[in-house]
């Protein structure tokens, strides 16, 4: 168990996992000071978390615990899974407290923990929906009623709180509930309708050393696909996990399931699990993932669609699915240190995830389309409010994703201005200071403020397809810098050594696989890790569907400190090609003859902004994929 005087507040603890090559660094080891993420995390602490606590009160989620404890006679309020919103909020607070005290947040957390403790039953059971008059219905519908899902989020919050504060009050509550689950399901075939409990139980096993929790997680995974929860694809119950060829059904459930299976592989090394995980990840990223890193193409069932089914305006791409993608890719990254997982994680973080919260930290997207007519706007809360506290917990835990350690040395996964003090295996502390304006600029300097022999592994992002350069103390380092790989620098380091990595950031036009019919003849714009879009606020009175990017026309990148909190925007010339007069009153017509090489339309200035920042100004249309000349 972690020493309360030296909390190892890590996101996922693979430090003792025998089949994971990398291990996370303590969350407290990394201090983000960059102008991109640090203000967002401060906003999370000062605005988002207090606002969410107020909404937990106003919407009755905390009153549900008071009701279960017999402190009020109010009726249960909301959905059967509303407890999970409180638990995710608590986890976010825990990670926030790990990186600095906050009496106000601590008081709110203590109040919530007190209510949770009062609501727990003598046998360890804890779920406010099944309190009082519904007590006889407990555990009778694992498919739909989210009891195990809520339990999983409580356990994750408890582990985070214990690691961050050293206080085991919430952890003891979670252990009593987990013991209750193990006593009930150890000999009962069962699996949850909404995965989450699997990774929670593995993490609880890591925290406590109690193997029965991991065994129970294994049983839940092993019983999936046997028809215990209907046998439907929606629940990933259509076949056993190890036999799945592709991910189907509800996107968040599918990704949480994969994250839990990855945790189990890290503990057991079961070959069949690893084969399945590789197969599912490869298929997902090659055929089912949006350019933003978003996942889930269908509103119906919040589901992953068929191969290459990636509509733009109808994209669901739930914010929670982007968060689940980060969680799964992080676990896969810990297994072998393959840069492709860090690339996927970075894409989701800067685009699909970050679009889910407004620049003021008080409104959210549940779904994230890649085209819109101006009607889709962020909301301050939702009846089903899974996304807001999920966003808060990822922002709070973000420093833990930047670095990892292995027997060889330090792995740098993400880039931003920060300082890190990382305990290494031989008792030494490796200190790094990273200087960068990333993601606006690809110039990165890492100063080593320590000494000794170890390797520094730097990720060359897959988006940096050519021109990356690396030098040490001003001297170029030989060897290839391969996009989508880590480059290793091993030496006897001395204080003051400085590594400079240069990642050119040209504006790139991205085309889509031809089987994605909606994007035929269209391109999207990317610069570095950021996806761009055009928005009506920058093109008043213009129908964005009329924009056509000429072949060979370059776009310039320019930093605007006053725009959308400070962004690099793209500027250039496009053509306006509205429908000609022959379309008046018609939906179809015979293709008219055209002169070869004709260039219709007329020039128009175009501005593109980072996709994450759209819908923060007046309502208007938005588009990621733009018409383009061949």
Catalytic residue positions, numbered: 302, 386
For the four alpha carbons of 248, 252, 254 and 255, in that order, the dihedral sign comes to positive
For the four alpha carbons of 148, 151, 155 and 160, in that order, the dihedral sign comes to positive
Closest CA to 418 of 442, 394, 445: 445
Alpha carbon distances (Å) from 545 to 318, 373, 536: 25, 10, 11
Whole-angstrom Cα Rg for the chain = 25
Alpha carbon distances (Å) from 623 to 296, 357, 397, 610: 18, 18, 31, 11
Closest CA to 404 of 7, 17, 2, 1: 17
CB-CB contact of 533 with 608 (8 Å):
yes
Q: Retrieve residue 565's tokens.
A: 């909190």
Place of tokens 């079961």: 270
Looking at the DSSP bridge assignments, the partners of residue 501 are 444, 470
Peptide bond into 439 cis (omega under 30): yes
Do the strands 409-412 and 452-460 form a parallel or antiparallel pair, or are they unpaired? parallel
CB-CB contact of 90 with 109 (8 Å):
yes
Do the strands 429-436 and 418-423 form a parallel or antiparallel pair, or are they unpaired? antiparallel
Residue 476: enclosing H or E segment and its boundaries? Answer: strand 475-476
Place of tokens 């996964």: 413
Query: Phi/psi zone of residue 173: left (φ > 0), alpha (ψ -120 to 50 degrees), beta?
Result: alpha
Q: How many CA atoms lie within 13 A of 444 on its CB side?
A: 28
Closest CA to 330 of 379, 273, 382, 397: 397
DSSP 344-407: HHHHIIIIIIGGGB-TTSS-B-SS--SEE-S----BS--SS-SHHHHHHHHHHHGGGGSEEE-S
Query: Cα–Cα distance between 466 and 508 in angstroms, integer?
Result: 12
SS3 breakdown of the chain: % helix, strand, coil, rounded to 5? 40, 20, 40
């Amino acid at each position: 168990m972690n020493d309360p005087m030296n909390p190892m507040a890590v996101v996922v603890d693979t430090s003792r996992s025998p089949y994971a090559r990398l291990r996370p660094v303590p969350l407290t080891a990394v201090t983000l000071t960059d102008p991109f993420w640090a203000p967002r995390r401060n906003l999370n602490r000062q605005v988002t978390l207090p606002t969410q606590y107020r909404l937990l009160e106003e919407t009755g989620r905390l009153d549900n615990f008071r009701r279960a404890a017999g402190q009020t006679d109010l009726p249960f309020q909301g959905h059967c899974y509303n407890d999970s919103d409180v638990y995710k909020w608590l986890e976010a607070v825990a990670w926030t407290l790990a990186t600095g005290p906050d009496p106000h947040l601590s008081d709110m957390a203590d109040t919530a923990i007190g209510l949770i403790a009062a609501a727990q039953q003598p046998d360890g059971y804890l779920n406010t929906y099944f309190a009082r008059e519904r007590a006889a219905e407990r555990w009778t519908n694992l498919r739909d009623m989210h009891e195990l899902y809520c339990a999983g989020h409580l356990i994750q919050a408890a582990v985070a709180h214990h690691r961050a504060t050293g206080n085991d009050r919430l952890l003891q509550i979670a252990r009593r509930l987990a013991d209750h689950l193990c006593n009930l399901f150890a000999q009962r075939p069962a699996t949850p309708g909404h995965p989450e409990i699997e990774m929670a139980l593995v993490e609880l096993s890591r925290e406590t050393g109690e193997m029965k929790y991991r065994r129970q997680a294994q049983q839940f995974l092993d019983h999936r696909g046997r028809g215990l929860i209907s046998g439907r694809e929606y629940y990933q119950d259509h076949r056993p996990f190890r036999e799945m060829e592709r991910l189907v059904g509800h996107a968040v459930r599918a990704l949480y399931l994969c994250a839990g299976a990855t945790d189990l592989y890290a503990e057991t090394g079961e070959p069949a699990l690893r084969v399945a995980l590789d197969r599912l990840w490869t298929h997902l990223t090659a055929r089912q993932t949006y350019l933003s890193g978003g996942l889930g193409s269908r509103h119906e069932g919040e589901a992953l669609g068929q191969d290459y089914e990636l509509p733009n305006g109808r994209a669901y791409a739930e914010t929670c699915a982007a968060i689940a993608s980060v969680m799964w890719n992080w676990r896969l990254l810990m297994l072998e240190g393959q840069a492709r997982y860090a690339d996927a994680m970075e894409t989701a973080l800067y685009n699909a995830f970050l679009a889910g919260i407004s620049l003021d930290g008080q409104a959210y997207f549940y779904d994230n389309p890649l085209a819109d007519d101006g009607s889709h706007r962020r909301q301050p809360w939702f009846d089903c409010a899974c996304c807001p506290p999920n966003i808060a917990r990822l922002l709070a835990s973000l420093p833990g994703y930047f670095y990892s350690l292995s027997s060889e040395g330090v792995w740098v996964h993400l880039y931003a201005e920060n300082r890190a003090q990382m305990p290494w295996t031989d008792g030494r502390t490796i200190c790094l200071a990273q200087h960068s304006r990333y993601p606006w600029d690809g110039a990165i300097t890492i100063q080593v403020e320590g000494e000794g022999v170890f390797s520094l592994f730097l990720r060359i992002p897959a988006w940096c397809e050519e021109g990356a350069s690396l030098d040490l103390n001003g001297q170029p380092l030989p060897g290839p810098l391969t996009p989508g790989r880590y480059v290793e620098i091993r030496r006897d380091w001395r204080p003051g050594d400085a590594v400079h990595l240069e990642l050119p950031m040209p504006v790139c036009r991205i085309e889509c696989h031809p089987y994605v019919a909606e994007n035929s003849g269209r391109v999207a714009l990317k610069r570095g890790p950021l996806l761009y879009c055009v928005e009506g606020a920058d093109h008043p009175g213009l129908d964005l569907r009329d924009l056509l990017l000429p072949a060979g026309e370059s776009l310039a990148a320019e930093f605007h400190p006053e725009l959308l909190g400070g962004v690099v925007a793209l500027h250039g010339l496009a053509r306006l090609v509205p429908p000609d007069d022959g379309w008046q009153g018609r939906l179809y017509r015979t293709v008219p003859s055209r002169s070869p090489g004709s260039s219709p339309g007329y020039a128009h200035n175009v501005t593109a902004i980072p996709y994450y920042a759209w819908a923060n100004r007046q309502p208007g249309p938005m588009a990621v994929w733009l018409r383009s000349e061949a």
